[in-house]
Chains A and B, each alone.
Chain A
Amino acid sequence: NAGVTQTPKFQVLKTGQSMTLQCAQDMNHNSMYWYRQDPGMGLRLIYYSASEGTTDKGEVPNGYNVSRLNKREFSLRLESAAPSQTSVYFCASELGTRQETQYFGPGTRLLVL
């Protein structure tokens, strides 16, 4: 099993460019999450999806959109990247909805110039 996979691993964008971060899981999990991790700060929840077809905002949703394409895939889109979105982005999934046993992907390192 691959677990949770994320693409790309690294990306450099210019301010104003758009991009989509992809996440897929092969564990038949119901819930999927997008986090960002910045130095000196904890992981912060951007968006989550408790089931296929539903998405909800987390702590820091501004500047992002998400799509739960199917049960396996949950993508994160930056419509107009800003330097403040420079971060490491992690996708996670779990079988339930209480964030009790999350499995994280390897992360995407994003630099916005």
Chain B
Amino acid sequence: RKEVEQDPGPFNVPEGATVAFNCTYSNSASQSFFWYRQDCRKEPKLLMSVYSSGNEDGRFTAQLNRASQYISLLIRDSKLSDSATYLCAVNRGNDYKLSFGAGTTVTVRA
């Protein structure tokens, strides 16, 4: 089983819609969780960290479910500019090194 797994998508949604997707992780000792955004043929950029209590940044909401070992990202009121691949990253707990998922592709259409 991969350490971090994501539904590759693509999730095709109209502008203004809400889209949500999850990332599951296998190491129960993981302590830190992140969402990165990667545009086509570009480098990943940190979108947000995921805290135990969940956190929100504008239209983006991240949640952590430790019992079921997954994190989620919800995008409200989708914009065309939200089209990207979203990578989740989870630290391995023992050495703080991150394991990345392969990414979920979101395409927002006009």
A-B contact count (CB 8 A): 44
Chain A residue nearest in CB terms to B49:
A100
Contact (Cβ within 8 A) A40 B91: no
Cross-chain contact B96 with A42 (CB below 8 angstroms): no
Chain B contact patch, size range: 20 to 34
B100 touches A106 (CB 8 A): no
CB of A99 within 8 A of CB of B97, answer yes
Interface size class of A (residues with CB under 8 A): 10 to 19
Contact B91 A98 (CB under 8 A): yes
Decide if B43 touches A99 in the complex (CB within 8 Å): no
Contact call A100/B102, Cβ cutoff below 8 A: no
What B residues does A100 contact at CB under 8 A?
Answer: 32, 34, 49
B96→A43 contact, CB < 8 A: no
Chain A residues with CB under 8 Å of chain B are: 40-45, 48, 58, 90, 97-102, 104-107
